[in-house]
Structure 1
Amino acid sequence: MSVDASFEQLGDFLRACRARVGPEEVGLPVFGRKRRVAGLRREEVAQLAGVSVDYYVRLEQGRGQHVSDAVLDAIGRALRLDPTEYEHMWDLARPTRVSARQLAPSTARPGVQVLLDRIDAPAFVLGRCMDVLTWNPAADAVMGLSAMAPHERNMARHTFLSPDADRFYPDWERVAADTVAFLRLDAARHSHDARMAALVEELSAGNPCFRPLWDAHQVAEKTHGTKRLRPADGTVLDTAYETLSFPGDPDLMLVVYTTAPRTARVGAEPSVTAARP
């Protein structure tokens, strides 16, 4: 995503957030006549943020190259952004340029694999764009990663492009929304990453459910949560997960599913046959 595209995304994000905030939530009077827009009007956001309507309109039009820190803070408060949304707004307003040597690694260092192999629960490492870089036998038993083609070892591709996804994820709609919300966050943090832009286009073309979720501009961290999985043997696993970042490699995440031992099948041969997108 180019710098200009980042400011355009900032405008889209502000419009989406504005539509999600009702006037009553921010103490504005609501009159009897029907409002023509969902959420706040642009002039109401400008009033709450203490800026001119023209200035705020320019931001929503993608002309936010010189927005000040104070204005960003004020708009964040006016739109009642949560900490993750607030950070996302700043990432879009302050796009960074980095050299190729600063890009995230495409593989995990050997010591990480040693760590994975010592974890009894299903565990794997995610890289940029939600690529699965490496995993342990327990994760392979549940997800069938070693049976997948290398380009298929990507959580977003598997969610939206695999014909097996709605069986593997019984709560597919929730998983899909969570996946897109994290991709949105990651894309803003790395506006230079052409691979992310290509992935978004691939998912948009490959699944009609993706684009509406992407255009909703919801953002969420992938820190912890719960997920329901159904491996090839038909067992439904209700599992929690935790994620940890690696010091020195902040774009890599260790994901651990805290599945019950009887269902994790630690050390079993891969049982999920990869479905080709």
Structure 2
Amino acid sequence: MDLSAELSEFLRSRRARLKPQDVGLPDFGRHRRVPGLRREELAQLAGVSVAYYTRLEQGNGRNVSMEVLDAIARALRLSETERAHLTHLARPTAKKRQRAAVTNRPQQVRPGLRHMLDAMEGVPAVLVGRRLDILAWNRMARALLSDFEALEPHERNVARRLFLDPGVRDLYVDWECKAVEVVSLLRLYAGRCPDDPELLALVGELTVRSEEFGVLWAAHTVADKGHGTNRLRHPLVGELTLGYETMRVAGGDPDLMLVTYQAEPDSPSAEGLRMLARWGVDEPADA
């Protein structure tokens, strides 16, 4: 992945989403030729020369200081996640390149982690790795989300299933929101590991096979997976409203995440999970 092009497109997309009135500048309405702020306006807000900012937006981030990046991030009103993404794109260090090289090695799930998943009875849980690959799951996750065991290994990927599997699309009540979240996570990973060949292959495949993915990928939104709520339309127990929590797994692999799902106590969704626990996995979610 070309970091210079990524840096250029990211800065342009962030500048385009800001309106002059958002930053206290006069708006000349229909006389503006570009969406969002002009380069000159952004440079003024960041306290850098127009020529300097133009070079940066053209993808030339060589020798840019953290002070300048922080000033541009403030002017663009970037979130903390977006700031980190900007830094990954503009200042790719040797250490980051070394980490990216590690992505060619298959990820391993320790036996202890698998035992932990199995012990989490009543709590759907999955281990998600690089590129949002689904590496391990417990019985409840299989009953709630999908029959992962019936899938080929390359098909066990959150993004691939969300955009290419109609059954998974139907599972999410707010599919559009879930799609934005997933693409934003892939974008964040791409900034950290731009040389990952499997990521490039995945993005290429999804761009060709899903117009919706292509549109979202071009938007350059980035977000880290943390916590939130998913509304699911389960074929066996009906609609479920479940919170999810994401935790990084210690042990030397920064790209391994544990994701768990839970319902509010004494809610209809909690009863739905109990029903799934009783029924087991004879009929998984997308059967």
Settle same-fold status: TM greater than 0.5.
Answer: yes
User: Residue 230 of structure 1 aligns with which residue?
Assistant: 233
Determine the C-alpha separation between the residues in 1 that align with 2:100 and 2:87: 23
Task: For structure 1, list consecutive stretches of 5 or more residues without a partner in the other structure.
Answer: none
CA distance in 2, matches of 1:110, 1:253: 15
Paired residue type of 1:219: V
- Aligned CA distance change for structure 1 residues 33 and 235 (closer, same or farther; 3 Å): closer
Give 1:73 deviation, angstroms.
1.1
Match of 1:42 in 2: 39
Q: 1:85 aligns with which of 64, 82, 86?
A: 82
Could you say which residue in structure 2 is the equivalent of 1:20? Answer: 17
Q: Secondary structure at the match of 1:227?
A: strand
**Higher deviation after alignment, 219-228 or 94-103:** 94-103
Q: Which aligned segments of 4 or more residues in structure 1 are displaced greater than 3 angstroms?
A: 31-34, 99-105, 272-275
Per-residue deviation, 1:33: 4.7
Task: State the distance in 2 between where 1:65 and 1:8 align.
Answer: 13
Write out aligned runs for 1:121-270 (5 A). Answer: 121-143=123-145, 144-233=147-236, 235-247=238-250, 248-259=252-263, 260-264=269-273, 265-266=276-277, 268-270=280-282
Query: TM-score by structure 2 length?
Result: 0.89
Match of 2:118 in 1: 117
Deviations 1:128-175 (CA, angstroms, capped at 9, x unpaired):
000000000000111222222222111000111112232111211111
Partner of residue 97, structure 1: 97
1:7–1:92 Cα contact (<8 Å) kept: yes
Partner of 2:66: 69
Matched to 1:79, the amino acid is L
Note if contact 2:131-2:199 (Cα within 8 Å) is conserved in structure 1: yes
The secondary structure found in structure 2 opposite 1:37 is coil
Q: Which amino acid aligns with 1:53?
A: V
Do residues 31 (structure 1) and 46 (structure 2) align?
A: no
Contact 1:125 1:252 in 2 (8 A): yes
State the identity as a percent.
Answer: 49
C-alpha separation in 2, matches of 1:242 and 1:270: 26
Higher relative contact order (CA 8 A, sep 6+): 1
CA deviations 1:248-268 (Å, max 9, x no partner) are 222100000114443221271
Distance 1:186 1:100 in 2: 10
Aligned counterparts of 2:133 and 2:200: Cα–Cα separation in 1: 14
Unaligned ranges ≥5, structure 2? 264-268
For the Cα contact (< 8 Å) 1:231–1:272, is it kept in 2?
A: no
| CA contact 1:140–1:270 (8 Å) conserved in 2 | no
Cα distance, 1:98 vs structure 2 = 1.1
Question: Which has more helix, going by share of residues?
Answer: 2
Contact conserved, 1:20 with 1:39, CA < 8 A, in 2?
Answer: yes
